[in-house]
Structure 1
Amino acid sequence: MASPLLSSGFSDALVILGAAGLVIPAFARAKISPVIGFILVGLLVGPFGLGALVKTYPWLYHITISDPHAIEPFAEFGIVLLLFSIGLELSFKRLWSMRQLVFGTGAAQLIASGIILGTGLHLLMGLAWTGSMALGIALSLSSTALVLPIAGTASPVGRTAFAMLLFEDLALVPIIFVLGALGPMAAAAGWAGFAKVGGVAVLTVAILFVGGRMLLPRLFAQAARTKSPELFLAASLIVVIAASLATTAAGLSPIVGALIAGLLIAETDYHSEVEVMTSPFKGLALGVFLITVGMSVDIGAILADWTSYLLGIAAVVAIKAVVTFGLLRLSGIRGGVAAETGVLMGSPSETTLIVLGAAGQAQLLAPGLASFWQTVTAIGLTITPLLAMLGKRAAKRIEQRAETLPEAEISPEGPGTVVIGFGRVGRMVCDMLAVHGQPYVAVEADIDAVTAARAEGYPVIFGDVVRPELVDRLNLGRAKALILTMNDPVLSISMTRRVRGWVPDLPIIARARDTAHAAQLYKAGASDVVPETLESSLQLAEAVLTDLGVAVGPVIASIHEKRDELRREIKAAAEMEVLPRLKRVRGVIRTEGSAT
């Protein structure tokens, strides 16, 4: 089994850190959230995965963890660092700027979902009210680590989700505080003990806030004067450790201290530097924590009672999605955004596991029950990307049903020029058409882009050109030209082929990613195609020649000649159906180039 040089603890540390080091770059390269990878790796190397085979194959000892209790210190370490990083991201100024959505809709969503889930658990499972409400609040939390990378913070869905997630992160302080005060120390002595523990805890937190406001700026100022990154990092870790020890001594969880430490540092002038110094630990902390979550998942137990797990995750997702959708609609959020946000935030969170751990320490939940919902949470985390896809489909259907193509926007004499796609390229084309007084109508499938464009006065129609009825109502037979600017090669080719079959004489000008795509568009029937890689190469050459002092007139003339020459070669290659020859087009264009 274990060698003298490789103790159990050291071996476990190597397995966890090694797995984290492999998952982060691998999943980042695949553009997949590493949260799922961490859970799956933990499941693989944990005591219920390959770790269960150590007795049969002793060599697996060095790459697995066979002792479930060995992972507990790593989980606690990961939770502490994770809560510290969450605290660093919070700011009172940030909260105030979004106060209506954060403390209004965000608070209502968490409380309403928690009450509904908690009441259901009390009635169906016979749990005590304290345990059921603690479990309901835990399951009402949503994943910051997954939702924000998926939705971003610039889109309407991302901004809405961010506000609610911000409240949930902030609510962790009172949630864990209350659960810590309900711990065995208080429970054993009744209400008097609860009041004593609560009083000590409130006093400790108050001292931390007051002392932190006074001492932290001076501490970090001294660390900054040394210009030593190591000392700055050490000061940050000292603050986290001291705050965690203080809250532990007061009868609370150490993660309360870690979160408070992050909040206090976030209010100093040095929070940006601390974030930079500790950012490598954030991903590692989340990875360690989620790997330990995966290690605790028993596949055998899931298979033995899969219906219960399926019903559990389905109930949580459905209740949270409906509550979130309803509250967002009451707040005036558009139907599609509310639906996508609700479904995306339907699954439990990585912080759900933290609250479940705090409730377990407070003896509000039996170990078996906590383990069941921990597994449900792990399953919910892994299906969050699937929920994101379902949310987008639901939003698209709602928006298509709510907003149809207005008849009045298409003139009976014809729409002029029809522009399909109103992104960065389509907007520029429409601007130039307007400059020269050419009538046009643009069609866009992104309702947010349509709303913003209409607010600016652009004649943009919401619709998806995949639907034949939409294309029929565009009256392309009377149009002057069709311009395809969407960044979807397959759709642009099929659209060109379809329209060319209907309207043989209609000029079709299409945007192409590269010369190979351009040749396919010419073959499908496009009148003229503009490959982005060709135009970027020509524009670069024009800028170089102009900066070298060559007269502008000859430069422009030579650029036009080169453009015509290359387009002739592309058309010829398309007619001969010999696309590989395009790679030899004078070395100017690369067929593997991407849209710039």
Structure 2
Amino acid sequence: MAIALLYNVLIFLVAAVLIVPLVKRLGLGEVLGYLVAGVVIGPSALGLVPDADAVLQFSQVGIVFLLFVIGLELKPARLKLMRKAVFHFGSLQVAVTTTLLTGLALLAGLSPAAALVVGFSLGLCSTPLVLQLLGERGELGSRHGRYAFALLLFQDIAAIPVLAAIPLLAGGASLGGDWTHLLAEVLIAVGAFVGLIVGGRYLLRPLFRFAAGTRSREVFAGTALLVVIGAALLMELAGLSMALGAFIAGVLLADSEYRHSIEADIEPFRGLLLGLFFMAVGMTAQIGLLAEKPGLALGLAAGLLAAKWLAMTLSARLYRRDWKTALNLGALLSQGGEFGFVLLTAAGAAGLLDASLVGLLVLVVSLSMAATPVLFLLHARLIRPLLKADRPRRDYDRPPPIGPQIIIAGFGRFGQIMGRILQGLKIPYTVLDSNAERVDVVRRYGNDIYFGDASRLDLLEAAGADKARVMVVAIGDIETSMRIVQRVKRRFPHLRVYARARDRYHAQLLMRAEVTYIIRELLPASLELTREVLVGVGISREQASHTVETFRPHDERALKRQLEVFGNKREQIQTIQQAARELEELFEADEDIATTAPERPPERRGTT
């Protein structure tokens, strides 16, 4: 058993190592390479791994990890902003595509129920394929990338009730019994969905806090795997999508302080299992059927691609998107998807579709998935240049290896003050800033600054991080700042990291990351202005200065106490209230601090 398992693993690795780089070198992308590798080792070709269906079942875990990582990238606030794109645009696209494909299925002679299932099943797209293509080209954050993700998310949700309704459409049981069974399944699904959200909201942070407290990377990684697989399994047992469960778990952790560490631990599993999924899809392709009926199979695949391209482009235009976005979506989302395999197989098992038709349609979906990387590449090279192009994306600069003592990440108002002082002292430093316009403006004044993302390790190495002594993170965005700090701490442990904190929460995150020195950006200015306000209401300057200097260490101590109960909202509130009482007592006990408001000076009356 163990030898057979190791043999299969060896076959997959050899196929991936030999075939994927070759296909990628041809400019066709990794996805097509995995699909080709699967076809080569599958039952239809060399037959090195005969049980393709079992591999496909297991490889679904790759989609689970992919959706979990995507969920980590989506904060709940951002997901809330996407709700219109998900539900409005998603429902419009599914309606248009299903209507068109159902009509074509009716013309082919299928019954209305069978045509509806076929139309909806073929209308679904491949989530891992599309997201992998977007990731390879760096277009996940583009306009069409955001809309593509919204559509894929809605399709995954919409497929669930259709899967439950297939037995009803097949008419395999009495109507009353089916409706009762369907209602029970819906209630179970809703209960599991709500339970996952509520339980995850209150249990996930304490769970990861406990795992982080062990200071064991293996325990922390195991906890991340437990959450992903547990959430996916819960949704699967409730009759929902495993990927949906993993996605929800990711979203619940998107705002947590452990997000980047979780993503770093999950990423290797995601990449390997996703590659395995694409190889499994290639293995299940019935090449023998393609050899028997090449004209029919290729014709249906081409027809599916053309029909879905038309439906997707039309849906985007009806949703009032520009032609460039509509055509990008049409080229990207014209294939069938892995959920189509599930629905078509279920329809065949329920007797709604013939087994031969199911096999043919599964082959058509596989061919459409294999064709998508090539078609999208052709679209990017031939069609996009004809459209009104966006401003070309600027490549990051490559700083010369000058061996600076200091590297500054972010050169806004905060970083520029430091840069002026260092320049005046003739201390060499290198600046990395991801705002291209700011880089151009600052360069006009003769400053050395380079356009680049300071969280990229290759750019930090090019900037001389291995030789520098100090890293200054002068970026106000909490997420970006923490990503830089964590990566620098892992890769360049010798660097002393000094960081700007946007607020107390940011400061606590930096303290947990063991940053050498932290300055809260508004604290010095706030204390300075408070001192002047106290003077302005009649308190002597000496008393005002003493009051502010007494407050500063008290606030630092309070911040450290709040750090001890970080993540526990109730204890945080109690600690803040206790600190406020201690401050009042501290001021009352200090004879040099005026604890009562000075008398209001008489109002000056004048004429206007």
TM range (shorter): 0.5 to 0.7
- Return 5+ residue gaps in structure 2 as ranges: 396-436, 438-608
Q: Which amino acid aligns with 1:216?
A: L
Q: What TM-score do you get using the length of structure 2 for normalisation?
A: 0.55
Is the Cα contact below 8 Å between 2:304 and 2:368 reproduced in 1? no
* 2: CA distance, partners of 1:295 / 1:169: 26
Match of 1:38 among 34, 40, 65: 34
Superposed, 1:92-103 pairs within 5 Å as 92-103=76-87
Deviation at 1:35, TM superposition (A): 0.9
* 2: CA distance, partners of 1:423 / 1:252: 40
Match of 1:12 among 8, 15, 25: 8
* 1: CA distance, partners of 2:116 / 2:160: 15
Q: Which amino acid aligns with 2:36?
A: L
Match of 2:187 among 199, 205, 219: 199
Q: Which amino acid aligns with 1:321?
A: W
Superposed, 1:45-194 pairs within 5 Å as 45-51=41-47, 64-129=48-113, 132-133=116-117, 135-142=119-126, 143-149=129-135, 152-153=138-139, 158-176=142-160, 178-180=162-164, 189-194=177-182
Q: Does 1:329 align with 2:317?
A: yes
Partner of 2:359: 371
Taking structure 1 as reference, are residues 422 and 112 closer, same or farther at Cα in structure 2, changes over 3 Å only?
Answer: closer
Alignment partner of 1:201: what SS?
helix
Partner of 1:381: 369
Q: Which amino acid aligns with 1:105?
A: F
Match of 2:297 among 309, 324, 329: 309
Q: Does 1:274 align with 2:269?
A: no
Deviation at 1:302, TM superposition (A): 0.6
Match of 1:300 among 288, 295, 310: 288
Superposed, 1:418-567 pairs within 5 Å as none
Deviation at 1:332, TM superposition (A): 4.4
Taking structure 1 as reference, are residues 86 and 306 closer, same or farther at Cα in structure 2, changes over 3 Å only?
Answer: farther
Is the Cα contact below 8 Å between 1:253 and 1:358 reproduced in 2? no
* 1: CA distance, partners of 2:116 / 2:292: 25
Partner of 1:391: 379
Partner of 1:583: none
Is the Cα contact below 8 Å between 1:180 and 1:362 reproduced in 2? no
Alignment partner of 1:141: what SS?
coil
Of the structure 1 ranges 384-393 and 349-358, higher mean CA displacement relative to structure 2 is found in 349-358
Q: Which amino acid aligns with 1:40?
A: V
Partner of 2:230: 242
* 1: CA distance, partners of 2:270 / 2:379: 28
* 1: CA distance, partners of 2:241 / 2:225: 17
Alignment partner of 1:221: what SS?
helix
Is the Cα contact below 8 Å between 1:244 and 1:255 reproduced in 2? yes
Taking structure 1 as reference, are residues 71 and 109 closer, same or farther at Cα in structure 2, changes over 3 Å only?
Answer: same
Alignment partner of 1:6: what SS?
helix
* 1: CA distance, partners of 2:258 / 2:172: 41
* 1: CA distance, partners of 2:373 / 2:233: 37
Deviation at 1:230, TM superposition (A): 1.5
* 1: CA distance, partners of 2:194 / 2:393: 51
Is the Cα contact below 8 Å between 2:131 and 2:140 reproduced in 1? no
- Can you list the C-alpha shifts for 1:8-56, whole angstroms capped at 9, x where unaligned? x4422332344345556665666542111111111001111111xxxxx
Alignment partner of 1:34: what SS?
helix
Is the Cα contact below 8 Å between 2:332 and 2:376 reproduced in 1? yes
Taking structure 1 as reference, are residues 169 and 336 closer, same or farther at Cα in structure 2, changes over 3 Å only?
Answer: closer
Is the Cα contact below 8 Å between 1:344 and 1:391 reproduced in 2? no
Q: Which amino acid aligns with 1:12?
A: N
Number of residue-to-residue matches in the alignment: 389
Q: Which amino acid aligns with 2:131?
A: A
Deviation at 1:123, TM superposition (A): 4.2
* 1: CA distance, partners of 2:316 / 2:239: 38
Taking structure 1 as reference, are residues 27 and 263 closer, same or farther at Cα in structure 2, changes over 3 Å only?
Answer: farther
Of the structure 1 ranges 207-216 and 98-107, higher mean CA displacement relative to structure 2 is found in 98-107
Is the Cα contact below 8 Å between 2:85 and 2:150 reproduced in 1? no
Partner of 1:543: none
- Return 5+ residue gaps in structure 1 as ranges: 52-63, 401-420, 426-452, 454-596
Identity of aligned residues (%): 31
Is the Cα contact below 8 Å between 1:12 and 1:70 reproduced in 2? no
Q: What TM-score do you get using the length of structure 1 for normalisation?
A: 0.56
Taking structure 1 as reference, are residues 229 and 68 closer, same or farther at Cα in structure 2, changes over 3 Å only?
Answer: same
Deviation at 1:76, TM superposition (A): 4.0
* 2: CA distance, partners of 1:239 / 1:25: 33
* 2: CA distance, partners of 1:89 / 1:368: 42
Taking structure 1 as reference, are residues 46 and 109 closer, same or farther at Cα in structure 2, changes over 3 Å only?
Answer: same
* 2: CA distance, partners of 1:175 / 1:338: 23
Superposed, 1:336-355 pairs within 5 Å as 336-350=324-338, 352-353=340-341
Alignment partner of 1:380: what SS?
helix
Is the Cα contact below 8 Å between 1:39 and 1:378 reproduced in 2? no
Give RMSD over aligned pairs: 3.8
Deviation at 1:258, TM superposition (A): 3.6
Deviation at 1:117, TM superposition (A): 1.4
Is the Cα contact below 8 Å between 2:236 and 2:242 reproduced in 1? yes
* 2: CA distance, partners of 1:186 / 1:249: 24
* 2: CA distance, partners of 1:177 / 1:219: 32
Is the Cα contact below 8 Å between 1:177 and 1:256 reproduced in 2? no
Alignment partner of 2:50: what SS?
coil
Is the Cα contact below 8 Å between 1:118 and 1:137 reproduced in 2? no
* 1: CA distance, partners of 2:14 / 2:241: 28
Partner of 2:250: 262
* 2: CA distance, partners of 1:163 / 1:220: 32
Alignment partner of 1:153: what SS?
coil
